[in-house]
């Protein structure tokens, strides 16, 4: 409960949470919804969870750099990220960095 209060106020507080809470989807969703970069502290499995990553990149496109490799190759995720922050293109997979639609969304 204390951790939920902390991450709802400042998502970056997730980095101080226990490993089990960094793997708790509700806690991580709360954190990334107000600080996309909190994704960096999430468990590996949640960095591969599309719903969690979409919440993070919707808030802060640059959070794409913390997503799993498979989600960096997911066009919907990458389009959301680059629409929010064009420089997120640098974290996308090579194939999506060569996709005209993705590049156009980034500029």
| 11 pLDDT above the threshold of 80 | yes
The C-alpha torsion from 102 through 26 and 1 to 34, rounded to 10°, is 20
User: pLDDT tens across 15-41, in order?
Assistant: 989 999 999 999 999 999 999 999 999
What gap in Å lies between CA 14 and CA 6, rounded to an integer? Answer: 8
Running DSSP on this structure, what letter comes out for residue 70?
Answer: T
What pTM did the predictor assign? 0.92
Q: What mean pLDDT value characterizes the chain?
A: 95
């Amino acid at each position: 409960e204390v951790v939920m209060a902390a991450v709802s106020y400042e998502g970056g507080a997730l980095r101080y949470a226990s490993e089990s809470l960094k793997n708790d989807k509700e806690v991580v969703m709360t954190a990334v919804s107000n600080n996309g970069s909190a994704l960096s502290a999430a468990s590996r499995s949640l960095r591969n969870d599309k719903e969690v990553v979409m919440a993070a990149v919707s808030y802060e496109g640059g959070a794409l750099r913390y997503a799993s490799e498979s989600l960096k190759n997911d066009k919907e995720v990458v389009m959301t990220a680059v629409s929010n922050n064009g420089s997120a293109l640098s974290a996308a997979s090579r194939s999506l960095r060569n996709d005209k639609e993705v590049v156009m969304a980034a500029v």
